[in-house]
Amino acid sequence: MEESLGVLLVERGLRFRGLTPEGEKALEWAQHVITDYDGLQQSLAQMRTGLGGQLRIGAIPVTLPVVSLLTVPFTAKHQHVRTTIRSLPSVEIQRGMEDISLDVGVTYLDNEPLVRVRRLRLFTERYILITKRRRLRKKCETISWAEAATFPLCLLTPDMQNRRILDMHFREAGAKVQALVETNSMITLWSHLRFGDSATVVPHTFLLLVDRLDEFAAIPLVEPAASHAVGVVAVTRAFLDFAGKANLNSEITRRFHQLGLVGVHWPND
């Protein structure tokens, strides 16, 4: 390979010392070549018997309520595919895409850089305050970020990209937020709302996990109006093509209507 490429790939000595920077780059490209070759084999096998193999998905925690809207119909169509879904921070998803330990990532598209991957926008994420109704001084259809910051909040931890997005919008509103409870688990967040006296700011898709609001109010956040693109990044073509046929914005809205959440809407929608 060194003769063919015209560069040194290995640092030589009495023992193996490691790869040169050129060697590291060659290894990176070799991993992608192997992945493409595996994809070719899967594609040929699919032509004979249908899609099979292992699908490894990394998803940021706030997208987990939505991921099943893709994986349930995908696995129903491709019953020979074994799917593993891991909850990961966005930086670990990027790392997993680079070292080929993940086939698909579900993450934000418009914040941290994503390179050498295919990208597909899935839906637009917006934000709501969830609090117990008795905490509200008056009935309101929207609430400002500055006012939301005055509630006792349970939020995701600062290493999560969603939390960094929320902090950015709180700062834009001139508000400084100090969470009483921080967690990297959406289940833990919900349990503090359910059994405690906390409120939270979460993506609107969080409501897909809630059967009924009952004692809770879910209020869209404005001033500023905020939204971010969530999508799929992939090194495998089959799942990306499947996701491209889904209209998740419409599907999320349809499910909101099924759950009776028709009152949760943003101005000018």
pLDDT band at 268 (very low <50, low <70, confident <90, very high): low
Asked if residue 260 is part of any domain, the answer here is no
Q: What does the pLDDT read at residue 80?
A: 84
* Residue 23: count of CB within 10 angstroms of its CB: 18
Does the pLDDT of residue 126 top 60, yes or no? yes
Lookup: tokens for 63: 């997208």
CATH number at residue 138: 3.40.190.290
150 and 211 co-located in one domain: yes
Contact 196, 119 (CB under 8 A): no
Does the pLDDT of residue 224 top 80, yes or no? yes
Q: What is the residue-averaged pLDDT of the chain? A: 85
113 and 23 co-located in one domain: yes
Q: What does the pLDDT read at residue 262?
A: 53
Task: In whole angstroms, give the CA distance from residue 78 to residue 212.
Answer: 33
DSSP H helices, the chain, are 2-5, 21-49, 64-77, 90-98, 145-148, 161-172, 186-195, 237-244, 248-258
Quote the radius of gyration of the chain (alpha carbons, Å).
Answer: 22
Task: In whole angstroms, give the CA distance from residue 101 to residue 99.
Answer: 6
Segment 177-198 shows an average pLDDT of 90
* Residue 130 three-state SS: strand
Q: What does the pLDDT read at residue 114?
A: 63
238 and 143 co-located in one domain: no
Task: In whole angstroms, give the CA distance from residue 253 to residue 232.
Answer: 19
Number of domains the chain contains: 2
Lowest mean per-residue pLDDT among 5-19, 88-102, 112-126, 255-269: 255-269
Structural domain boundaries, residue 105: 16-124+228-247
Segment 236-265 shows an average pLDDT of 79
Tally helices (H) and strands (E) across the chain: 9, 13
pLDDT: which is higher, 262 or 71: 71
pLDDT band at 171 (very low <50, low <70, confident <90, very high): very high
Q: What does the pLDDT read at residue 72?
A: 93
Contact 173, 224 (CB under 8 A): yes
Q: What does the pLDDT read at residue 267?
A: 56
The percentage of the chain sitting over the pLDDT mark of 90, rounded to a whole number, equals: 40
Which amino acid, one-letter code, is at 161?
Q
Does the pLDDT of residue 34 top 80, yes or no? no
pLDDT: which is higher, 88 or 5: 88
Asked if residue 262 is part of any domain, the answer here is no
Asked if residue 204 is part of any domain, the answer here is yes
Q: What is the pLDDT of residues 37-69, one digit of tens each?
A: 766 666 666 555 566 688 999 999 999 999 999
50 and 71 co-located in one domain: yes
Contact 157, 60 (CB under 8 A): no
43 and 120 co-located in one domain: yes
Pairing of strands 216-222, 18-19: unpaired
The percentage of the chain sitting over the pLDDT mark of 70, rounded to a whole number, equals: 87
20 and 118 co-located in one domain: yes
Does the pLDDT of residue 102 top 60, yes or no? yes
* Residue 137: count of CB within 10 angstroms of its CB: 5
Asked if residue 6 is part of any domain, the answer here is no
pLDDT band at 84 (very low <50, low <70, confident <90, very high): very high
pTM of the predicted model over 0.85: no
* Residue 54 three-state SS: strand
Task: In whole angstroms, give the CA distance from residue 50 to residue 214.
Answer: 45
CATH number at residue 73: 3.40.190.10
